[in-house]
Every structure is written in C-alpha cells, then in structure tokens.
A and B are shown apart, each in its own frame.
Chain A
Amino acid sequence: GIQVEQSPPDLILQEGANSTLRCNFSDSVNNLQWFHQNPWGQLINLFYIPSGTKQNGRLSATTVATERYSLLYISSSQTTDSGVYFCAVESTSGTYKYIFGTGTRLKVLA
C-alpha cells in the first residue's frame, strides 16, 4: 500500500521563526489533508489540498501531486502552534481509505 513519510520527526523553534514541514507519499493520491493535533489531543483540519497552494493566515500549504510531496509552511510561529502535524492521503487504489503519516512534533519556545 501507499507509504506516507513526514519530516522532520521533531522540530523545536523559537517564537517568531518560520518552518517548513514535508510530507512525501509513495503513490498517486486522490486527496491530501494536513491536520494539527494540539497538546490536548484535539485534531484540527488545516488544509484539504490534493494539489496546488492554499493559504490561511500564517499557514500555507503546497502539494505537488506529480512529484508526490506536500509542504506545510508556518510563518512567525507562536507557542500555540505547538503540537503534532499530520498529513493524511487517500490513495487512488479504488478504496476510500485514509493513510496518515507518523507526524512532525513541533515545539515553539517563548
């Protein structure tokens, strides 16, 4: 089945810094989502982005489906950005399964 790899696995930033999180996938996908899991465990969807670029405030995401990767950009990071960031893909295998990456754990220091 499709493999989803995220990098880096861990990231520590000073407040105000920028960062780029990467999601690589091993096969074609129908769609891709980015999620943030906050320190209380809540999962919040950030972007639904099977291709192209989207922006929402300090966050933006780009998916290059032909090259099988997606990037999540966080600018001017804040302590509230801390948590784990997951990408999840739905493969083109004919099912409607979702496969999650193992996440990037981000800690933003004040």
Chain B
Amino acid sequence: EAQVTQNPRYLITVTGKKLTVTCSQNMNHEYMSWYRQDPGLGLRQIYYSMNVEVTDKGDVPEGYKVSRKEKRNFPLILESPSPNQTSLYFCASSYTLLVDGGPDTQYFGPGTRLTVL
C-alpha cells in the first residue's frame, strides 16, 4: 500500500530534550516536506527536500533541522524543543514534474501531535 508514515504519532516531552520525528514514504517520491499546523494559522511549511541531500527552508524553519540521506526518509529534528513548538506536524511527499522540476500532487502522513512542556 502506497503511504507516508510518521513516528511517533503522539509525543509529550520537556523543554530542551532533543527529539526526532521520522517520516518515511514507499512511493519513490523525490519531493518531501514537513509542515506544522496550528489553530487559526493553517499549515505552514518548515522544510522541504527536492531529492537526496537537497533540502531548503520553508516559511518557519527556526528551531528545526532536517536531513535527507535516503530517498524514502526525511526526519525532522528538534535539537532543543521549546513550548512554542507544540503543534501538529505533517510530513508529505510527491513526485516532481518533468516540465519544471516542481512538486506534483502531495500525499500526507497521518500527523504527529507534539506537546513540549
């Protein structure tokens, strides 16, 4: 089954304790992306990756790191989480278009609800 998986689905942690949220897709997609969703703000892009070893900042990258060492995985790293990073996080993936190299239809993972105390 084609899917994007995220782990963990729920996480409660404390300020300053490093954590990683994993994202994996089995569709051989080139483009992967992380979003956070907050009430009243919709979804905001944190980081995206066009392919292995190619990553770039979205609109809200501060406090986050990513890596793309393999095509299927795109982990999100919070080196020193703070309470303002409490949010619902989504990973997404897509093919890239031949015409301009941009992302095609995005498919989303189930989400990770993170609470930082």
Q: Which of A's residues lie within 8 Å of B, judged by CB?
A: 1, 30-31, 33, 35, 41-45, 48, 86, 88, 90, 95-103
Question: A97 to B48, Cβ gap below 8 A?
Answer: yes
Question: B59 to A97, Cβ gap below 8 A?
Answer: yes
Question: B42 to A96, Cβ gap below 8 A?
Answer: no
Question: A41 to B111, Cβ gap below 8 A?
Answer: yes
Main SS class of interface, B: strand
Asked if A43 meets B108 with Cβ closer than 8 Å, knowing A86-B42, A96-B48, A99-B59, the reply is yes
Asked if A90 meets B59 with Cβ closer than 8 Å, knowing A102-B42, A103-B42, the reply is no
Main SS class of interface, A: strand
Question: B102 to A31, Cβ gap below 8 A?
Answer: yes
Question: B56 to A96, Cβ gap below 8 A?
Answer: yes
CB distance from A97 to the nearest CB of B (A): 6
In the assembled complex, the Cα of A35 lies from the Cα of B101 at a distance in Å of 22
CB distance from A28 to the nearest CB of B (A): 13
Asked if A43 meets B33 with Cβ closer than 8 Å, knowing A48-B104, A86-B43, the reply is no
Question: A30 to B106, Cβ gap below 8 A?
Answer: no
Give 12 pairs: A residue, B residue, CB < 8 Å, sorted on A.
Answer: A41-B110, A45-B106, A88-B43, A88-B106, A90-B103, A97-B45, A97-B48, A97-B56, A98-B33, A99-B59, A100-B35, A102-B42
